[in-house]
Amino acid sequence: MHIPRAGTLIWYYFICKREVWLMARSIVPEQDHDLVAMGRWIEETTYQRSRKRINLEHVVIDVMNVEKGKILVGEVKKSSRYVKSATMQLAYYLFVLKQKGIHAEGVLLFPKERKRLQVVLDERLEQELLAVLRDIQAIIRKEVPPPPVPCRFCKKCAYAEFCWS
Ligand code: SF4
């Protein structure tokens, strides 16, 4: 199943389903906050140093290491606050690589918290990912967005005025 900007939508899926719908429909919020700015928020949670990136069609993946033929992809994160979003986004990248015949493993690093999270696309994670992708498709096919549900992200969300005024 092909969903444009699926990596980004997966990130937001675990934060706000309404935002998934709005982003998928390219509904642009206030002028100061375009979709690029929203994507930047994901970037802000990620360290930019020593990146080697590979571009696979619509997906850009950070390569951490290549050792004995095994590719390790992932990211160095500033905090584990959005760990579910980051994990499932990485699972999606592993899935895209797998579809290209590339076996890779994932890792999320949180140096400030001295944490390291291995992400392996096993059967369970792949099934969970596919269920998420199906649900994203179902959300974006709806005529109207899901109703707003207050969450801790609303305060910094570019759609806040649209949702709450
Ligand atoms: S303001 Fe809140 S409810 Fe509205 S899209 Fe943003 S996160 Fe979702």
Residue type, 34: D
State yes or no: pLDDT of 63 exceeds 50.
yes
Domain that holds residue 135: 6-164
What's the pTM? 0.83
Q: Is residue 57 part of a domain?
A: yes
pLDDT in tens, 67-76: 677 788 888 8
Tokens 């930047």 appear where?
40
Classify strands 59-67 and 115-119 as parallel, antiparallel or unpaired: unpaired
> If you average pLDDT over each of 26-30, 128-132, 154-158, which comes out highest?
128-132
Q: Is residue 25 part of a domain?
A: yes
- CA 143 to chain CA centroid, nearest Å: 24
CA 47 / ligand 1 centre spacing (Å): 25
pLDDT value for 154: 93
Q: Is residue 160 part of a domain?
A: yes
Write down the mean pLDDT value for the chain.
84
Q: Which of 41, 149, 161 to mutate to test the pocket of ligand 1 (most atoms within 8 A of CB)?
A: 149
Q: Is residue 100 part of a domain?
A: yes
Give yes or no for a contact between 158 and 29, defined as CB atoms under 8 angstroms apart.
yes
Confidence of residue 38 (pLDDT cuts 50, 70, 90): low
What is residue 112's DSSP assignment? G
- In angstroms, rounded to a whole number, what is the distance separating the alpha carbons of residues 103 and 124? 17
State yes or no: pLDDT of 56 exceeds 70.
no
CA 18 / ligand 1 centre spacing (Å): 7
Q: Is residue 82 part of a domain?
A: yes
Q: Is residue 1 part of a domain?
A: no
Q: Is residue 90 part of a domain?
A: yes
Cβ burial of 118 (10 Å; 0-12, 13-18, 19+) is: exposed
Domain count, the chain: 1
Indicate if ligand 1 lies below 6 Å from the C-beta of 27.
no
Q: Is residue 43 part of a domain?
A: yes
pLDDT value for 111: 85
The residue-averaged pLDDT of 4-31 equals 87
Within 10 A of 79 (CB to CB), how many other CB atoms are there?
Answer: 12
CB under 8 A, 24+ apart: contacts of 31-36: 33/158, 34/158
pLDDT in tens, 140-150: 999 999 999 99
State yes or no: pLDDT of 42 exceeds 70.
no
Q: Which of 14, 16, 82 to mutate to test the pocket of ligand 1 (most atoms within 8 A of CB)?
A: 16
Indicate if ligand 1 lies below 6 Å from the C-beta of 13.
no
Give yes or no for a contact between 119 and 87, defined as CB atoms under 8 angstroms apart.
yes
pLDDT in tens, 89-123: 999 999 998 998 888 999 998 888 989 999 999 99
Query: Which residue lies with its CA nearest to atom 2 of ligand 1?
Result: 154
| Residue 74: closest CA among 87, 85, 83 | 87
State yes or no: pLDDT of 58 exceeds 90.
no
Indicate if ligand 1 lies below 6 Å from the C-beta of 159.
yes
What is residue 77's DSSP assignment? B
